[in-house]
Amino acid sequence: QVNLLQSGAALVKPGASVKLSCKASGYTFTDYYIHWVKQSHGKSLEWIGYINPNSDYTNYNEKFKNKATLTVDKSTNTAYMDLSRLTSEDSATYYCSRNYYFDYWGQGVMVTVSS
């Protein structure tokens, strides 16, 4: 069965970076895009961008272009998102999701930015 397993919660200091992971299983990793979505506490969802694991092509929401960097490691079927120069505004739960229809989602990872 399809599963997207995300890395554990992160507590990071302001100005630092964090790398989140999303390990895919149960399907051919290169067949589907991986999207990343941000959900601030108690709020709605924001699309960050997607990566095509087959070509490494990325497409970002302009709002996150200088914040997030998406990569994949095909050898381990894992997608990554680097978040840089973190501020309190980046404290949120981040999800990875598969496919154009967002048919499967990871369990989410909470990132807390605090000194």
Interface with other proteins (CB under 8 A): 35, 44-47, 59, 61-63, 95, 97, 100-103, 105-108
Closest separation in Å from C-beta 14 to other proteins: 26
Closest separation in Å from C-beta 63 to other proteins: 7
Query: What would the 3-class secondary structure string for the chain be?
Result: CCEEEECCCEEECCCCCEEEEEEEECCCHHHCCEEEEEECCCCCEEEEEEECCCCCCEEECHHHCCCEEEEEECCCCEEEEEECCCCHHHCEEEEEEECCCCCEECCCEEEEECC
Closest separation in Å from C-beta 74 to other proteins: 24
* Residue 1 vs 115, nearer CB to other proteins: 1
